[in-house]
Chain A
Amino acid sequence: MNRKKHRREKPDAVVQRLMNIVGEREVFYLKEDLISYECDGYTMSKGMPKAVVFVKSTEHVSAVVRCLNEEKIPYIARGAGTGLSGGATPLGGEVIISLVRMKRMLHLDLENRKAVVEPGFINLKLTQSISDKGYYYAPDPSSQYACTIGGNVAENSGGAHCLKYGVTTNHILGLEVVLPNGEVIEIGEEGIPDQPGYDLLGLLTGSEGTLGIVTKITVKVLKNPEGKKTVLAYYDDINDASQAVSEIIAAGIIPAALEMMDSIAIEGVESAAYPVGHPRDIAAFLLIEVDGIAAGIDDQIDEILTVCKHNNVREVKVAKDEAERGLWWANRKMGFGAMGAISPDYLVQDGVIPRTRLPEVLGKIAEISKKYELRIANIFHAGDGNLHPLILFDASIPGQSERAAKAGSECLKVCADVGGSITGEHGVGIEKSAEMRFIFSDAEMTAQTNIRAVFNPEDLLNPGKLFPQPGQCVEIKQAGQGDRSTVPVNAMGRGD
């Protein structure tokens, strides 16, 4: 990259110190270089970082953290920037520590079923690099072709297959972590389970980069299942589809994946890169995958077909080959991006409900859609009750962004009110920090921030994330101010 000609401003003393650690070319500090770091995959909130530092080793991370601590400058760890809740988005003035160049696999031990990777290692690449030996890495977020395992640890990412295989936390065996004081610790040494002491592995996974910066990750790898079959079922009534989901689970089947899309979502994916030819007039489809010992799969598929038919399915079919299965999944995994084909802008939500409450919650989301006069597409991991309402809007029409944000928040309230959660896999970040109050009391959040203080006492590491900022909730909920994109920035006093 020819950056010299852009170098009009001189680096300040802090940037110079960072350059001394990682090298001059490894620090971005000019505005034009920083713009792409204003936000992550959640684009409704943006902030300008002070600099971006590209680290290559644990020692780099530790030295950078020590330096920023001395300078009292807040900082954020960032991977591929695919996060959907603003976890890696600056509020303004932070230094971003980019881990994308720490992308090696350090160790592979198939006999003990583990691999050690650096945080910038890309999720899908892990599966690709061991698939010839018959192994894979289970957590499969839709962004897996781009997202990093470090980011997955920070967010405790899920994916379509976590119904059977669990989320990231169930697959992390060990971590090397740089603490906010620069100290390097190793937890879950060599990936050996149940190490004596509090379960810091479990605490750090999903802490959204607020407790430490992960520099090495030991993950569990799994053997590829011997057999796999995938079913696609079209429904004229979404309640029938929901009922089928419940009956499949009640039959004692744990599918590897159990996905649902409604008609607006189908309109989107059929207009995008991987159309399957789904009928346009159906209310919903179910995508059901069963895997495991080949000899046991056909019986399960038969039972699933019976349940589908029993619940008034219009058409149900089993993928005839890997190509067809692949197309169905490509179509499904395009889900979010496909909304771009039918709407200028969209907001993804990530609520979780007890799966038995699905029909009721879908009804309420339809009411929210009507109330705000915005179309809402629904893509869900139906098997584990994880809903992704996609609120379609046009940011160029005044007031629509605000209405979309309010509608999104109301969807989460519905989830919270039926005993669910505001996020199943995308994290809280900036986006849902106010909504934390839907599910936790002040005392419960204080219990959490007290733990943060043990690790991150000065709150320099990824400040302003995860928890409501002082006054934030009141402003939004009572005055009905929906534009959360500005609230946290103002609340932190770090706005541009």
Chain B
Amino acid sequence: MIASYLDGILPKEQIRINDELRHPLGNGGLQLIEANSEEDISKVLAFAYSHNKTVNVISGGTKRGFGGENERADILLSLANYKGIVEHSVGDLTMTVKPGTTLKEITDELHKHGQRVALDASWPELATIGGIIAANDSGPKRLLYGSARDLVIGTRIVYPDGNVVRTGGKVVKNVAGYDMNKLFIGSMGTLGIISEITIKLRPLPKYEGLSLLQFPIGKEQDIREFSIKILDSMAEPVSLEILNPSIAEKMTGNRQDTLAISFEDREKAVLDQENWVETHLPFGGEHVVLHEEDARQWWEKFRHFGPNGYHDTESEADTQAALKVGSNNLDVLVNMVAADNLAAEHHVAVEAHGGIGHGISRIYVKGLPEDIVSYTRALRDKVKEKSGYVVCTHLPFILREAVGVWGEKPGYFALLEGIKRTNDPKNILNRNRFVGGI
């Protein structure tokens, strides 16, 4: 087969037959197209739309294991080359960026100006801003800084028919029209392709501190009481992340439940809060403090856990999954315990962390495929008891249908379907990647 039907749409060197037909994570495409511009994206979609060709989208590839019940589409459109900062308005604390730019590239550039994007998603040198926004990825520091929905102020979107639509704007406060930005954040590219993002920035913190609180195993109640106390105190932690013993061991050398509490402020304010932690330490708890570069490096390492789309091995016993659990803030602790207890029951290895204070936990699972399936089901049942949910943010293609990436459809699913139909009436874009088969 040759790439004939796409000839003339884009230069030949941007199109090739995809020889990687059976990728373990699916979400591929028969033809691989590299987009170098918004115009390229628009041309490809306009063509696909009028010829009823399905399109999957990829950039850094870190989310390739997230959703998708079709092994491949007609076209796999890569935005990895469509990168760069379009505009950085230093005085306005805003930046406009192309979707294929990695988080690390953005961070490095902004650093020169004493600023940053307050998103601490994992694998920053691989994950692109477009992918992070489309998948609504976030990290522990969302506790204070919020997530993509709090930071994105405008986008340009290529709709499935190839037309470009702007949402939001370039100013930090804007209520003109519907807040259409929100529709595209976390929509897994099912409503349009994000071709430009304008995002709010923050100044780099003047000083950083990280308090690591290690608890003897089985002291969940102490952790809970301490967490309630600090949340009710004068302290303004940037993160209040609980690490299960296996991930804590890799981070600290100690196989103990560990709280990672970050403070970012003026030096005096950071030290004052650390002092609060020290004086309210529960019995038996151990307090280790890292500052500045040490704290930054610790978090840097922390951002390299879990599958990233490139480490899936052939060995069945080492099958990987990543689960995102949403719950009430304090139920994170309950879910962490459940994650570990169920791991033993279902013969899988689990590394887990969760934000007490923001309600999102991440659970990285390794084991045999059938054990991963049964583990995820059991965890989902457990989490549901307290109204929480489990979404599989990484799963081999062959397991997705069995596990159900998104869980049950919400009661208002008809509205979601209606929105999808409105934006993508021919259902060509990232088909079956989202909730309820959207």
Interface residues, chain A, CB within 8 Å of chain B? 110-113, 134, 155-156, 158, 162, 166-167, 169-170, 179, 185-187, 189-203, 205-207, 211, 223, 225-226, 246, 249-250, 252-254, 292-297, 299-300, 352-356, 381, 384-386, 419-428, 432, 436, 439-441, 443-445, 447-448, 450-455, 466-467
- Given contacts A192-B326, A194-B147, are A352 and B202 in contact (CB under 8 A)? no
Please classify the interface of chain B as helix (H, G, I), strand (E, B), loop, or mixed, using the class held by over half of its residues.
Answer: loop
The interface residues of chain A lying within 8 Å CB-to-CB of B136 are 194
Q: Is A444's CB under 8 angstroms from B412's CB? A: no
Q: Whole-angstrom distance from the CB of A283 to the nearest CB of chain B?
A: 21
Q: Is B269's CB under 8 angstroms from A190's CB? A: no
Chain B 77-94 near chain A by CB (<8 Å), digits 1 or 0: 000000000000111111
Q: Is B412's CB under 8 angstroms from A384's CB? A: no
- In Å, the complex CA distance between A187 and B410 comes to 9
Across the interface, name the chain B residue whose C-beta is closest to A426.
B175
Across the interface, name the chain A residue whose C-beta is closest to B355.
A193
B415 CB within 8 Å of chain A: yes
- In Å, the complex CA distance between A428 and B228 comes to 41
Q: Is B90's CB under 8 angstroms from A196's CB? A: no
The interface residues of chain A lying within 8 Å CB-to-CB of B176 are 421-423, 428, 432, 436, 439-440
4 A-B pairs closest in CB distance = A202-B182, A296-B269, A252-B203, A296-B266
Q: Whole-angstrom distance from the CB of A413 to the nearest CB of chain B?
A: 13
Q: Is A295's CB under 8 angstroms from B269's CB? A: yes
Given contacts A196-B406, A423-B176, A436-B176, 12 further A-B contacts (CB under 8 A): A169-B182, A190-B328, A192-B359, A198-B416, A200-B415, A201-B182, A252-B114, A293-B265, A355-B92, A421-B171, A423-B175, A447-B159
Contacting residue for A419 out of B169, B203, B388, B389, CB 8 A: B169
Q: Is B232's CB under 8 angstroms from A134's CB? A: yes
Q: List 20 A-B contacts (CB under 8 A).
A: A167-B173, A169-B182, A192-B359, A193-B360, A197-B412, A200-B415, A201-B182, A249-B91, A250-B90, A250-B91, A293-B235, A295-B272, A352-B169, A353-B171, A354-B170, A425-B175, A441-B166, A445-B177, A448-B178, A455-B415
Across the interface, name the chain B residue whose C-beta is closest to A446.
B165
The interface residues of chain B lying within 8 Å CB-to-CB of A162 are 173
The interface residues of chain B lying within 8 Å CB-to-CB of A455 are 415
The interface residues of chain A lying within 8 Å CB-to-CB of B359 are 192-193
Chain B 169-208 near chain A by CB (<8 Å), digits 1 or 0: 1111111111111110111000100000000001110100
The interface residues of chain A lying within 8 Å CB-to-CB of B149 are 169, 199, 202
- In Å, the complex CA distance between A226 and B179 comes to 33
- In Å, the complex CA distance between A197 and B412 comes to 10
The interface residues of chain B lying within 8 Å CB-to-CB of A297 are 269
Across the interface, name the chain A residue whose C-beta is closest to B412.
A185
- Given contacts A223-B231, A421-B174, A454-B419, are A444 and B330 in contact (CB under 8 A)? no
Q: Is A194's CB under 8 angstroms from B165's CB? A: no
Across the interface, name the chain A residue whose C-beta is closest to B187.
A198
Contacting residue for B180 out of A211, A225, A419, A451, CB 8 A: A451
The interface residues of chain B lying within 8 Å CB-to-CB of A467 are 177
Across the interface, name the chain A residue whose C-beta is closest to B388.
A192
Q: Is B172's CB under 8 angstroms from A385's CB? A: yes
Q: Whole-angstrom distance from the CB of B108 to the nearest CB of chain A?
A: 18
The total of chain B residues at the interface (CB under 8 A) is 83
B11 CB within 8 Å of chain A: no
- In Å, the complex CA distance between A42 and B66 comes to 47
Q: Is A385's CB under 8 angstroms from B171's CB? A: yes
Q: Is A295's CB under 8 angstroms from B271's CB? A: yes
Interface residues, chain B, CB within 8 Å of chain A? 89-94, 114, 136, 138, 146-147, 149-150, 159, 163, 165-167, 169-183, 185-187, 191, 202-204, 206, 228, 231-236, 265-266, 268-273, 324, 326-330, 357-360, 387-389, 391, 406-407, 410-413, 415-416, 418-419, 422-423, 435
Q: Is A293's CB under 8 angstroms from B171's CB? A: no
- In Å, the complex CA distance between A193 and B331 comes to 13
Q: Is A451's CB under 8 angstroms from B326's CB? A: no
- In Å, the complex CA distance between A421 and B174 comes to 6
- In Å, the complex CA distance between A205 and B182 comes to 10
- In Å, the complex CA distance between A389 and B183 comes to 32
- In Å, the complex CA distance between A467 and B202 comes to 33
- In Å, the complex CA distance between A495 and B72 comes to 55
Interface hub of B174, B359, B423 (most chain A Cβ within 10 A): B174
Q: Is B271's CB under 8 angstroms from A451's CB? A: no
Contacting residue for B330 out of A111, A185, A199, A445, CB 8 A: A111
Contacting residue for A448 out of B159, B163, B180, B358, CB 8 A: B180
Q: Is A444's CB under 8 angstroms from B171's CB? A: no
- In Å, the complex CA distance between A211 and B228 comes to 37
- Given contacts A192-B328, A443-B165, A448-B180, are A197 and B235 in contact (CB under 8 A)? no
- Given contacts A112-B330, A203-B183, A293-B235, are A419 and B171 in contact (CB under 8 A)? yes
Interface hub of B170, B173, B182, B270 (most chain A Cβ within 10 A): B173
Q: Is B177's CB under 8 angstroms from A448's CB? A: yes
Q: Is B407's CB under 8 angstroms from A292's CB? A: no
- In Å, the complex CA distance between A440 and B178 comes to 12
- In Å, the complex CA distance between A452 and B111 comes to 41
Q: Is A206's CB under 8 angstroms from B178's CB? A: yes
- In Å, the complex CA distance between A472 and B19 comes to 55
- Given contacts A193-B360, A295-B269, A299-B268, are A352 and B173 in contact (CB under 8 A)? yes
Q: Is A386's CB under 8 angstroms from B173's CB? A: yes
Q: Is B92's CB under 8 angstroms from A156's CB? A: no
- Given contacts A202-B185, A203-B183, A299-B266, are A447 and B173 in contact (CB under 8 A)? no
- In Å, the complex CA distance between A169 and B185 comes to 14
Q: Is A197's CB under 8 angstroms from B269's CB? A: no
Q: Is A192's CB under 8 angstroms from B389's CB? A: yes
- In Å, the complex CA distance between A460 and B234 comes to 48
The interface residues of chain A lying within 8 Å CB-to-CB of B266 are 293, 295-296, 299-300
The interface residues of chain A lying within 8 Å CB-to-CB of B388 are 192
Q: Is B146's CB under 8 angstroms from A203's CB? A: no
Contacting residue for A193 out of B93, B175, B326, B416, CB 8 A: B326
- In Å, the complex CA distance between A117 and B67 comes to 35
The interface residues of chain B lying within 8 Å CB-to-CB of A166 are 146, 150
Q: Is A385's CB under 8 angstroms from B204's CB? A: no
Q: Is A295's CB under 8 angstroms from B268's CB? A: yes
Across the interface, name the chain A residue whose C-beta is closest to B164.
A443
- In Å, the complex CA distance between A483 and B300 comes to 58
Q: Whole-angstrom distance from the CB of B203 to the nearest CB of chain A?
A: 3
Q: Is A199's CB under 8 angstroms from B182's CB? A: yes
- In Å, the complex CA distance between A185 and B187 comes to 20
- In Å, the complex CA distance between A455 and B271 comes to 51
The interface residues of chain B lying within 8 Å CB-to-CB of A355 are 91-92
- Given contacts A249-B91, A292-B236, A293-B236, are A203 and B178 in contact (CB under 8 A)? yes
